[in-house]
Chain A
Amino acid sequence: MDRTRSSKLTWLLIAIVGALTVCPVVMLVLGSFSEGLTAFGVFTVDKYVEAYTDPAFFSVMVNTTIFVLGSSTLSTVLAIFLAYLNTRTDIPFKFLFKIISIIPMMIPHLLFSVSWALLLNPSNGLMNVALMETFGLDNAPLNIYSMWGMILVEGLLDLPIAYLIIAPAMASFDVALEESSRVFGAGTLRTLFRVTLPVLRPAILAAFILGVVRSLASFAVPSVIGMPGRVHVLATYLYEMISTGFATDYGKAAAVGMSVLAASVTLIVVYRALTAESEKYVTISSRGFRPTVIELGKARMPLFGVVGVLSFVLIVLPVAVLLYTSLVPYSMVPSARAFSMMSLKHWHDVLSDPISLLSLKNSLFLAVVGATLGVILSVFVAYVIVKVKSRASGILESLSYLSFSFPGIVIGVGFMWFFVQTPLYATIWALLLGYIATYLPYGIRPMSSAFIQIHSHLEESSLVCGASPLTTMRRIIVPLLIPGIVSGWILMASMFVRELTLSVVLSRPGTEVLAVQILRFAEDGLWGRLSALGIVMIGITTGLVVAATLIGNRFKTV
């Protein structure tokens, strides 16, 4: 492609991506400084003063800090533990680790949180009831509706992503570094703490920071587990501000959101610097080598037990609890009586509920149309980022990764300000645009790695052979991109099917989506219907992930 054409394309894409990602931020900033509730007015800092002097705000900040640091620490420590066991020891059944790492693709955070609430809520949580019956207790021994409950569930939810960052770093670690430590007289443990972990520090820090960003943006856990226990963090504080009361103060919400957004963007900048650093740290050489496997000996089975429990908790338990709850008439401990009372009543209720059906239809529409448009945009953006090396393409790259750091609920408020000015307000197109803007990085990533794999010679040799740029696109580039396109589409579609945080802000009557409807059921305590609809959602996302894996394998063999 000649230079003027590609630079025109670059600037067009900068305009589109810029509009999608910068627009809500600008609106958020403007909104936070405006008089008036939803419309723009005179410049004022009143909203900031009001928001940050609110006595409730201080305790929310403390809660948020404890929640965010606690859950990130939990997920990082667990991830280090699992990654070490998998890459460096002779632990059995290593396939479990791969499953753990792709689970969050299949079980939405909202449903994972709900399943824990069903197990451990203080009034009729299945596990609580079972414990009370077994030990003859008067009160529920465990209460998930608390800070430790939130930290536990969020930590488990962020575990897979932390694992995906730490495990590759650990696998590509040059064992010679460890071996030399051993030769100089350090034992296994001392080597682990003096050599292995320090070398992996950038990866570990990156995983921790990503955990902080994700838990800061997390809405599912705070709303399902925090709100019933009156443990408020920033996300739920914002949500209550905009969803309750008759005169919603979006200005104040914007003012609070600004600090969340600023913190997130800063952390993501640090995260990207760290991942670049950790790539530098990759000590693997091209010589083929296998890291020495440490024999666990007697600790082998107990350690495997821990992994087994973790995978059970992460994979089997949520689905089993939801399936069970969707079949029994009300919450009860599994027993012969419970099984005899099972029916499809909740399923029937949900499938004849017009709003549930509408939300299903809306979510499917958003997934199919949104992922298609998102992938088309991602193809062009990834092409420019990878193949056109210019200052403008650098700007585009930064812009397109900006939304990676957007906490959904905050950016939702920004979009709200924007869409109110347009006829798109309260339509499904508002959700569509918001989804694409927020999840664009997830489409761009698989596409750019696909482009990186297409060596420029493959394209150039087609030109030299006499094919026009268009023919080259059709016969060489697109066929080689198909695996990337398919996996990008499926990734986006599965994220759109379960999207919650942006949707709770932008969804209005008539534009309900699955996750919002599930949240409504949770708020109304309709656990049976919730579980039935949740299983439908898990079915769709699992189907998409399985399809992606099968298609990926098919293309790999070609």
Chain B
Amino acid sequence: MEIRIRGVSKYYYSEGKTIKALDDVNLTIPANQIFTLLGPSGCGKTTLLRCIVGLEVPDTGEISIGDDVVWSKDRNISVPPEKRGLGMVFQTYAIWPHMNVFDNVAYPLQVRNVPKDVIRDSVAKTLRFVQLEGFENRPATKLSGGQQQRVALARALVAEPKVILFDEPLSNLDAKLREETRKELRAFLGKLKITAVYVTHDRVEALALSDSIAVMRAGQIIEIGTPKKIYFDADHRFVADFIGRANLVKATVRAEEGGFTIVDSGLGRIVCQHRDVAIGSEATLCIRPEFIRIVRGEGQAASNLVNGRIETLVFVGEAYEAEIRVGDEQLLAKIDPDAKLHEGDAVSFTLDPAHCLLVAI
């Protein structure tokens, strides 16, 4: 089901100041996608999720899920969370400690007065789906973090909701388990026809899981796109910087040529991916460290050839991380671990115009 959010704002008042947790958010979350709200802590992503599920009441605007308006300021509609028919996985999992696994998972069906034998079958099916067969009678407190996470998922899925919401569900797991669970979650969600809204501050999680990502800052949605679009082709400097490591260099737009935009910068004249910007305007050139390609031997006269000097060189296992000085600019570069380089060496490198990104200042 599609979720439409129109003009939703939410204010908090503390010590006489008004904090805009959500600032006139407009967003359409397409049906049957994994849609991620990504942003630094305090950007309003969790507040937005809680407004969708009904645990938080917005101050303005309208929210509809599928064909039903669940909240509208103007029409005075406010459907309570228990009537919205959604599934949700909480950051703390919220597994009820006084119930066993079966009762935790069966709860959404029990409160809907579903016949007992139907409940038993549905719970068994759902537990099989999350690979927790045979855990029915285990007390909820005797589960590992990963198992609790799967019980929470099973509970969110058992009533077959059309929308499932995730509030940073992996942040309580340790790094290794987080990676495994992320893959599992991706596999589980891939098998279902379901709209999933996923909140996280972890960019890798967002990139790995999502069909679409909305990046938020200070209560506003800055940019929406597929993971690749957000990573390679962001329109905003904040987004480019937040989603991965980036070298940001001041540049001035000089020309449009053969489908490329040409800029002058501290690195010299650089050919960039095309952007509709006025000639003569200021922009920021964004280059990811992994796209700085060291040229071996004599540099050929390719485009975007830059000369610099290696200032520091740190071996981090899968690569060298080098700081390369070019005039007044210092760039972070990821270099093949088998490169034979030393600190102080003069180097030449090229930048593929497709990965030279111009973003708004």
Residues of A within 8 A of B (CB): 2-3, 455, 457-458, 460-469, 471, 475-476, 479-480, 558
Contact = CB atoms under 8 A, between A and B. Distances in A.
A451 to B, nearest CB: 15
B7 interface: no
Contact of A480 (B54, B84, B85, B98): B98
A466 B159 contact: yes
Contact of B87 (A2, A462, A464): A464
A480 B55 CA distance: 21
- Top 9 closest pairs, chain A to chain B, by CB: A457-B94, A461-B94, A465-B108, A467-B111, A463-B81, A457-B90, A464-B88, A479-B98, A457-B92
A471 B113 CA distance: 12
Given A457-B91, A471-B111, A558-B139, A464 B96 contact: no
A458 B108 contact: no
Nearest to B107: A465
Given A460-B90, A558-B139, A465 B159 contact: yes
Contacts of A476: 96
B112 interface: yes
Contact of A465 (B55, B57, B91, B111): B111
Interface string B268-291: 000000000000000000000000
Interface of B: 53-55, 57, 80-88, 90-94, 96-98, 107-108, 111-112, 139, 141, 152, 155, 159
Contact of B82 (A2, A467, A475, A558): A467
Contacts of A457: 90-94
A464 B97 contact: no
Contact of A460 (B84, B94, B97, B111): B94
Given A466-B111, A467-B82, A471-B111, A461 B88 contact: yes
B96 A465 contact: no
Q: Which residue among B82, B90, B152 has the maximum number of chain A CB atoms within 10 Å of its CB? A: B82
Nearest to B55: A460
B81 A464 contact: yes
Nearest to A3: B57
7 contacts: A2-B57, A461-B88, A463-B80, A464-B82, A464-B84, A465-B82, A466-B85
Given A457-B90, A457-B92, A461-B88, A466 B112 contact: yes
Given A457-B94, A476-B96, A462 B53 contact: no
A479 B140 CA distance: 14
Contacts of B57: 2-3
Nearest to B78: A2
A421 to B, nearest CB: 43
Contact of A467 (B84, B92, B107): B107
A465 B86 CA distance: 7
Contacts of A479: 98
B108 A480 contact: no
A458 B88 CA distance: 12
Given A471-B111, A480-B97, 20 more contacts: A2-B57, A457-B90, A457-B92, A457-B93, A458-B94, A460-B55, A463-B54, A464-B82, A464-B86, A464-B87, A464-B88, A465-B87, A466-B83, A466-B85, A466-B112, A466-B159, A468-B111, A475-B111, A558-B97, A558-B139
B91 to A, nearest CB: 7
A467 B54 CA distance: 13
Nearest to A464: B88
A285 to B, nearest CB: 19
Contact of B92 (A455, A466, A469, A558): A455
A548 B311 CA distance: 69
Contacts of A558: 97-98, 139, 141
Contacts of A469: 82
A2 B82 CA distance: 13
A460 B98 contact: no
A402 B76 CA distance: 42
Given A457-B91, A460-B81, A460-B90, A466 B108 contact: yes
Q: Which residue among B94, B97, B108, B155 has the maximum number of chain A CB atoms within 10 Å of its CB? A: B94
Q: Which residue among A3, A460, A471 has the maximum number of chain B CB atoms within 10 Å of its CB? A: A460
B140 to A, nearest CB: 10
Nearest to A467: B111
Contacts of A458: 94, 96
Nearest to A458: B94
Contacts of A465: 82, 87, 107-108, 111, 155, 159
Contacts of B87: 464-465
A465 B111 CA distance: 8
B94 A466 contact: no
A488 B250 CA distance: 66
Contacts of B159: 465-466
A177 to B, nearest CB: 31
A558 B97 CA distance: 8
Contacts of B54: 463-464
Contacts of A475: 107, 111
Contacts of B86: 464
Contacts of A480: 96-98
A101 B54 CA distance: 47
A468 B111 CA distance: 8
Contacts of B90: 457, 460-461
B107 to A, nearest CB: 5
A463 B55 contact: yes
A222 to B, nearest CB: 47
Contacts of A463: 54-55, 80-82
B53 A464 contact: yes
Nearest to A459: B94
